[in-house]
Structure 1
Amino acid sequence: MGSLELDSTTTNSRAVHGAGEDDRLPHKHLSRTDQELDAGALFVLKSKGSWLHCGYHLSTSIVAPSLLSLPFAFTFLGWAAGIICLVVGASVTFYSYNLLSLVLEHQSQLGRRHLRFRDMANDILGRRWGRYFVVPIQFMVCYGTVIAFTLLGGQCMKAIYLLSEPNGTMKLYEFMIIYGILMLLLAQIPSFHSLRHINLMSLFLCLAYSACATAGSIFIGNSSQGPKKDYSRKGDAENQIFGIFNAIAIIATTFGNGIIPEIQATIAPPVKGKMFKGLCVCYTVLIVTFFTVAISGYWAFGNESEGLLLSNFLDDGKPLVPKWFFLMTNIFTILQLSAVGVVYLQPTNEMLERTFADPNSKEFSTRNVIPRIVSRSLSVVISTTVAAMLPFFGDINAVVGAFGYMPLDFILPIVFFNLTFKPSKRSLIFWLNVTIAVVFSALGLIAAVAAVRQIVLDAKTYRLFANV
């Protein structure tokens, strides 16, 4: 097939209405023939959704069960600093995600719509930044999240099992395998857009388990069975300082997304203004869930808050809330975990599809279906195996937050915006952006050191396939 040249009328039309599905790759020099060869974009990142669908995807990717670790982060920060960090995290991420969306909209109006984070980096920073910085970090974020949530899903399943079999002999890694089988099936859903109905259910599920976690915390906090409330910070001065930065990394992970361009890629053109509406839906859900769970959980359990709040609902294996209530909360959590895991598999699926699929064959032809099933299944098997080998949710959360979510969600959107729109150095937005980038770069570096230090300290308790 030869290159198809675009006349000026077509180009101007794209600039007004946004790029269509043929404008799959960011570089304006690529012909349609080159774009059609990108099977990952053609099959996984289909641009067919509405702003409401975008809101579902955003809510699933951000308002995830990792929010159940917020009371634990408060144990390092205390009341005032904990609430301040929540407010700052919500404000800065909402702002940075909107900046990223504006850059994507601007590029789309110029006729080179970006569908992936690496496309943005390639076009704005250069291919080396995209290949050696953004791609490894995003892969670590997305695949690390899948691993962490596989572990969390296994822990929730084990908690349900121990309710009915207090002396049961099944190990944690066995429950992770069961959860991995569920993920194996869901991973075969062909495209990001195909997840819209699942992610609508996910939105209601996150509201449901957050309400249950809040109600359970209040119930236990008001009962005589709850622990004595102590809000003092544990450890010596050194541990307290490093604990603060560890908590910041956990909060960054909780607010993190890392796949904003891929989510915006699911929106049908024209894209202008749709991402903002989707973010408003997401952050309405986020404010309701994050603040209620964090405040009620820390109020009820103080510095005894566990890395997973639901663990505080048990005392020596016996639930401190009604058994049916504990069971229901865990089921809601497991179901949403599976939806979140599938969302974060999409960048991996896109890369696998781009590598192994044939864009000149139909999406559901034998030539494409067999490699898709094999590659995606292998991806899930590897993530499940790693989760079973290293079942330490808190440490994984902190490492992913420090090394992944900090640069992708707090720093790069600011850099992309300033390089794209070049605001005046005398303007407020320029200095606000520079301040955010510098502050969170410093926090990210310190949080990374704190996360690695915590892993070193915990190494003596690490054991492959530990039954924690």
Structure 2
Amino acid sequence: MELETDNIIAHHVDDDSPKRTGTWVSASAHIITAVIGSGVLSLSWAFAQLGWIAGLVSLVLFSAINWYTSILLADCCRDPASGTRCSCYMDAVKYNLGGINTKFCGIAQYVNLVGTTIGYSITSAISMAAIKRSGCFHEEGHAAGCHVKNNMFIIIFGVTEIILSQIPNFNELSWLSVVAAVMSFAYSCIGLGLSIAKVAGGSHPKTSMTGTTIEVDVTKWQKIWSCFEALGDIAFAYAFSTVLDTLKSNPPENEAMKKATVVGVSITTFFYILCGALGYAAFGNAAPGNFLTGFGLYEPYWLIDFANMCIIVHLVGAYQVFCQPVFNKVEDWCLNQWPNNNFIKESRPIKLPLVGECTFSTFRLAWRTAYVIMTTVVAMALPFFNGILGLLGALSFWPLTVYFPIQMHISKENIRPFCWKWIWLNIVVVVCLIISLLAAAGSIAVILKDLYTYKPFTSVS
């Protein structure tokens, strides 16, 4: 969890960040709105692969790990030597661990950021296609094919992001974060409500304690890989190691963040259990990978359309949240490398509606456009919703949620090697590494299987 915090005691050295005014209440809300997002769409599918027992246990286990490591991370928000506030996650790793760990952290964070923007391009396009298909099903009946090619929708999303990416002070448009939070809650609650309505309406599809049945629903290896992929999807749903909050100093920010973590993770886990369990009860072992676009639900079609529109609006803003750090990193690096290059450094002021006066840069236009085109092309080439989510969850869960918080805690507390606490903390690290590797392997296996029958750039919903 990326922490920005205020002074704990007067003599601490601080940075130049704006004054923090957040409380544990605002931090709890920040965690809930950040976590409850596109990851919720695949939870019913994850339950279908794992079954009632393993599905519930996995959700509780991942929430417990996130809660515990976030508690450890909350105590690592300052440089142990000088007391300087850490302005970002990487700073915390630098101050507490240093060396190669800082570079490893940077790689993990930026791979996660780039991968997530690709995943959001895929998800938004699928939702756009679902709106068109929903109208077709309503007019022609549920037995109609109503298949739609996704490429045009991925391109539409990409063009939108190219335009938004040119806003240099996008992070200052705080109202977009509020809109995105409202949208994520809206489509999650609609999906939950529709699942409840389907169950209440007498729908009782096949479910089981172990999920999909071997030799009936899937083959033995499909079951194995799908279960591993489901773990990655759950890990992605709980990914909030890049959440940023601005806590004031009284009470101490680490205490406030711990309280916020308990509240945020508890509410999120309860909501996820409802979505996963009720979605599984509604769809059974045939649960679609995305319970709002897989058309286990057809009516009311206008409500499903509205939910998918909420997904699109949410992801349009969320894409910028994840790509802006990448933009800024590359632009700062280029400016430091070539400070006298006119193409890189020159900019001029322009006025934009709703944004106000900002600067226009030819370099920024070229670089940011190239980045969005790259993510768009990759999304068109590999449009695998569940596989991509599972892989992203697997790649980000272990380093950012488990390894760095635990290792920083060991360093900060000077825990002796091979003492009982050191041993069990490292057991948690190793076990979570194994889980992440299995989840990554499952996701890659499913993506490779899909590639055997899929022709690049011909994705169809």
Same fold (TM over 0.5): yes
Name the amino acid aligned to 1:141. N
Q: Of the candidates 438, 444, 457, which is equivalent to residue 436 of structure 2?
A: 444
**How many percent identity over aligned positions?**
25
Q: Of the candidates 193, 209, 224, which is equivalent to residue 241 of structure 1?
A: 224
Q: Matched residues in 1 for 2:191 and 2:348: separation?
A: 42
Q: Of the candidates 232, 239, 257, which is equivalent to residue 240 of structure 2?
A: 257
1:422 and 1:189, CA in 2 relative to 1: closer, same or farther beyond 3 A? farther
Size of the alignment, in residue pairs? 424
Name the amino acid aligned to 1:233. T
Q: Which deviates more, 93-102 or 190-199? A: 190-199
Any idea what the Cα deviations from partners look like across 1:262-286, whole Å, max 9, x if unmatched? x24x556784444335535643552
| Cα RMSD for the two superposed structures | 3.4
Q: Matched residues in 2 for 1:443 and 1:145: separation?
A: 20
1:406 and 1:20, CA in 2 relative to 1: closer, same or farther beyond 3 A? same
Contact 1:424 1:430 in 2 (8 A): yes
Residue 247 of structure 1: CA displacement?
1.5
Residue 392 (str. 1) matches residue 384 (str. 2): yes
The 5 A counterparts of 1:99-178 are: 99-104=72-77, 106-107=78-79, 110-131=82-103, 133-165=104-136, 171-178=149-156
1:49 and 1:162, CA in 2 relative to 1: closer, same or farther beyond 3 A? farther
Any idea what the Cα deviations from partners look like across 1:244-302, whole Å, max 9, x if unmatched? 22221111111113424xx24x5567844443355356435523431221111011111
TM-score (norm 1): 0.79
1:342 and 1:60, CA in 2 relative to 1: closer, same or farther beyond 3 A? farther
Q: Matched residues in 2 for 1:303 and 1:162: separation?
A: 23
Q: Matched residues in 2 for 1:191 and 1:289: separation?
A: 34
Residue 20 (str. 1) matches residue 14 (str. 2): yes
Q: Matched residues in 1 for 2:21 and 2:171: separation?
A: 6
1:99 and 1:410, CA in 2 relative to 1: closer, same or farther beyond 3 A? same
Q: Matched residues in 1 for 2:425 and 2:321: separation?
A: 29
SS where residue 343 of structure 1 aligns? Answer: helix
Residue 357 of structure 1: CA displacement?
5.4
Q: Which deviates more, 352-361 or 433-442? A: 352-361
Name the amino acid aligned to 1:440. C
Q: Matched residues in 2 for 1:63 and 1:109: separation?
A: 36
SS where residue 311 of structure 1 aligns? Answer: coil
Q: Which residue of 2 aligns with 1:411?
A: 403
Contact 2:165 2:368 in 1 (8 A): yes
Contact 1:363 1:369 in 2 (8 A): yes
The 5 A counterparts of 1:7-406 are: 16=10, 18-22=12-16, 50-51=22-23, 54-55=27-28, 57-104=30-77, 106-107=78-79, 110-131=82-103, 133-165=104-136, 171-188=149-166, 190=168, 194-223=172-201, 226=203, 228-231=205-208, 232-234=211-213, 235-260=218-243, 263-264=244-245, 271-276=253-258, 278-280=260-262, 282-283=264-265, 285-314=267-296, 320-356=298-334, 369-370=360-361, 371-406=363-398
Q: Which deviates more, 303-312 or 13-22? A: 13-22
Residue 141 of structure 1: CA displacement?
1.0
SS where residue 75 of structure 2 aligns? Answer: helix
1:73 and 1:325, CA in 2 relative to 1: closer, same or farther beyond 3 A? same
Contact 1:301 1:312 in 2 (8 A): no
1:163 and 1:444, CA in 2 relative to 1: closer, same or farther beyond 3 A? closer
1:337 and 1:155, CA in 2 relative to 1: closer, same or farther beyond 3 A? same
Q: Which deviates more, 415-424 or 160-169? A: 160-169
Q: Matched residues in 1 for 2:347 and 2:402: separation?
A: 36
Residue 368 of structure 1: CA displacement?
6.0
Q: Which residue of 2 aligns with 1:5?
A: none
Contact 2:33 2:181 in 1 (8 A): yes
Residue 237 of structure 1: CA displacement?
3.8
1:92 and 1:118, CA in 2 relative to 1: closer, same or farther beyond 3 A? same
Which consecutive residues of structure 2, in runs of 5 or more, have no partner in the other structure? 1-6, 138-144, 351-357
Name the amino acid aligned to 2:14. G
1:464 and 1:401, CA in 2 relative to 1: closer, same or farther beyond 3 A? same
Residue 218 of structure 1: CA displacement?
2.0
Residue 399 of structure 1: CA displacement?
1.5
Contact 2:51 2:207 in 1 (8 A): no
Residue 374 of structure 1: CA displacement?
4.1
Contact 1:219 1:321 in 2 (8 A): no
Residue 308 of structure 1: CA displacement?
0.5
Residue 304 of structure 1: CA displacement?
0.5
Any idea what the Cα deviations from partners look like across 1:282-336, whole Å, max 9, x if unmatched? 435523431221111011111111111113435xxxx532122111211222222
Contact 1:257 1:405 in 2 (8 A): no
TM-score (norm 2): 0.80
SS where residue 103 of structure 1 aligns? Answer: coil
Contact 1:53 1:196 in 2 (8 A): no
Q: Matched residues in 1 for 2:348 and 2:275: separation?
A: 43
Looking at secondary structure, tell me which structure has more helix per residue: 1
Q: Matched residues in 2 for 1:68 and 1:455: separation?
A: 18
Which consecutive residues of structure 1, in runs of 5 or more, have no partner in the other structure? 1-12, 25-45
Q: Matched residues in 2 for 1:214 and 1:461: separation?
A: 33
SS where residue 309 of structure 1 aligns? Answer: coil
Contact 1:407 1:444 in 2 (8 A): no
Contact 1:71 1:305 in 2 (8 A): yes
Q: Matched residues in 1 for 2:177 and 2:272: separation?
A: 18
Residue 185 of structure 1: CA displacement?
4.0
Contact 1:205 1:332 in 2 (8 A): yes
